[in-house]
């Protein structure tokens, strides 16, 4: 059985967080250490540890993550000027919490990643 993460506790509302969106598939909440004026994490409500663990059965969940990202970008009024979506995978990719998650970053001009 997969280990519970801090994100699981946020999803289950065991830890207080600024949740912007939640449905049966995904939860979106503000990052507590933002790297941009708008920094939201969008996570599946089930534990998928990283991109390498994604299966065909997760297709609807991953699609919902993108739909929610676009919805929140519009809600936060960053959809017109633009934003960045990032999913990190494992240590060299910069993944810190082993529960797949999408970063939605915006609210200022973001420089190059590399």
- Residues serving a catalytic function are 101
Say whether pLDDT at 13 is over 90.
yes
Among candidate residues 99, 93, 82, the one with its CA nearest the CA of residue 45: 99
Average pLDDT across the chain, whole number: 96
Domains and CATH numbers, the chain: 6-106 (3.30.428.10)
- In 70-104, which positions are buried (b, 16+ CB within 10 angstroms) versus exposed (e)? eebbeebebeeeebeeebbbeeeeebeebbbbbbb
68 pLDDT band, cuts 50/70/90, is very high
Mean pLDDT of 34-44: 98
pTM over 0.85: yes
The predicted-structure confidence for 74-102, as pLDDT tens digits, reads as follows 999 999 999 999 999 999 999 999 999 99
What pLDDT score was predicted for residue 113? Answer: 82
């Amino acid at each position: 059985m997969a280990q519970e993460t801090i994100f699981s506790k946020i999803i289950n509302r065991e830890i207080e967080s600024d949740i912007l969106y939640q449905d049966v598939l995904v939860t979106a909440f503000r990052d507590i250490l933002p790297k941009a004026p708008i920094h939201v994490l969008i996570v599946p409500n089930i534990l998928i540890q990283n991109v390498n663990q994604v299966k065909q059965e997760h297709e609807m969940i991953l699609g919902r993550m993108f739909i929610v990202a676009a919805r929140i970008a519009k809600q936060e009024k960053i959809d017109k000027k633009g934003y960045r979506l990032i999913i990190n995978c494992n240590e060299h990719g910069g993944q810190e919490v082993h529960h797949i998650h999408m970063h939605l970053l915006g609210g200022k001009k973001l420089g190059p990643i590399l």
